[in-house]
Amino acid sequence: MSAATPHLDLTTPEVVRKISQRSLVIGAVFAVISAVLAFIRPDEFYRAYLLGFMCWLGVALGSMAILMIRHLTGGGWGTVIRRILGAAMRTLPLLAVLFIPVILGIRHLYLWAQPLSNIEDKHLREHLEQITQTYLTVNGFIIRAIFYFAVWNVLSFLLSKWSRETDRPNAPDNSGRFKAVSGPGLILYGFTISFAAIDWIMSLDPSWISTIFGLIILIGEVLSAMCFAVVVERILFNYKPMSEMLTPDFVHDHGKWMLAFTMVWAYFNFSQWLIIWAGNLPSEITFYLRRLNGGWMSIGLILIFLGFVVPFATLLSRPFKRDIRRLVWLAVWLLVIRYLDLFWIIEPNFSRTLVVTIADIVVPVAIGGIWLWYFFRNLAALPLLPAYDQDAHEVLQPAHETHA
């Protein structure tokens, strides 16, 4: 137990509760507008809902993955944002509930869930008749979704339960438990999110296949989670105790993680492109044929240059990565890029030409407002640092020296 603990008030600042309340108001207002859109433009609503849901699910699951990486590797970089990551992870029960509209809109979203007799393309109809008998069934879709959320929520429950135990004196050393869960947990996360990506996104175009698609979704989630953590720590940096705990070295580490995840995201996307280009198979090329025409290429170019080239070049700067006031702007931009990336993946399945509807903006904001309300509520429920954890000294000791 660090001697610094008595000198630091680790409770969350009041601004966290204020942001939570404002997020709920914004979410409620946009939810009402979204409900209207669901009645008058159901197809547009459900497409936008899937887009918004995947954006915010990515932050929650990516946070859980980074948290498990931290438990396996250690380091103050993860300790200082551990409660931020944990609060995002604990939104998974809410996200399980928010998945219900996806199930309700299954016939608006997925071609395989519609009457196959309506499909004019004979080859596509025959293909769907095969896969809807073996894998893509409505009941199977729902059962697998229940399984995914069950796995994610069990992992979240265990990690959160043991973390809470380190908030009181004479807390047990749970580092062994964390490692025992985090190792298999990362493997489970990799498998479940890969199959969820197939079910929820890839099956929007049941004629298309990609063996690396699950990894693209996975790396996008951890990138969005790290960027989100940087944004939240910047908000908290104006107040104690984060202003005393967050050192330039920790910020530097977060910037390096952003750089690493950006590079891997670009590598996986390039690998998919290269594999499909080399194979040149009809079942694979449809993905890019849709996205290279009708104005969709402009989004793709934005993703390449403003989603990789510019962030990569910027994050090579050491001074930039050590300054939270500058790093946060890149983090915000990369979160926007994550939205554009999912928009580019999902929306061309429904429109040959680039179209942005009001639902594409309103619905993700509605989901985000409700999600942020629950996130900040979770964040306010616990101290910003598990003070009696065995690794707390990595953050508390520098803070104590600064405080002194």
Condensed to tens digits (0 to 9), the pLDDT of residues 216-255 reads: 999 999 999 999 999 999 999 999 999 999 999 999 999 9
- What's 174's DSSP letter? -
Contacts of 9 (CB under 8 A, 6+ apart): 240, 241
**Is residue 87 situated within a structural domain?**
yes
213 Cα distance to chain centroid: 15
Give the chain's length: 404
| pLDDT score for 4 | 42
Q: Establish if 163 belongs to a structural domain.
A: yes
pLDDT confidence of 125, banded at 50, 70, 90? Answer: confident
Which residues touch 149 (CB under 8 Å, ≥6 apart)?
A: 92, 95, 96, 99
Output DSSP code: residue 292: T
pLDDT band at 207 (very low <50, low <70, confident <90, very high): confident
* Nearest by Cα to 370 from 55, 42, 40: 55
Q: What's the number of domains the chain is made of?
A: 1
Q: What is the mean pLDDT of residues 203-228?
A: 94
CA distance 385 to 400: 14
Question: From CA 236, how far away is CA 238, in angstroms rounded?
Answer: 5
Q: Indicate whether 272 belongs to any domain.
A: yes
Tell me which DSSP letter residue 13 carries.
Answer: P
Question: Residue 54: what pLDDT?
Answer: 98
- The verdict on residue 174 lying in a domain is yes
Instruction: Judge contact between 98 and 53, C-beta under 8 A.
Output: yes
In a domain, 404, yes or no: no
pTM of the shown model: 0.94
Structural domain includes residue 137: yes
Report the candidate in 308, 201, 309 with the shortest Cα–Cα distance to residue 265. 308
pLDDT of residue 120 exceeding 70, the answer is yes
pLDDT digits (tens, 9 = 90+) for 374-392: 999 999 999 998 888 888 8
User: Would you state the pLDDT for residue 151?
Assistant: 98
Q: Is 403 within the bounds of a domain?
A: no
Instruction: Classify residue 267: in a domain, yes or no.
Output: yes
Instruction: Determine the structural domain holding residue 243 and report its residue range.
Output: 5-398
Per-residue pLDDT tens over the stretch 101-115: 999 999 999 999 888
Q: Is the pLDDT of residue 268 over 90?
A: yes
What's residue 159's pLDDT? Answer: 96
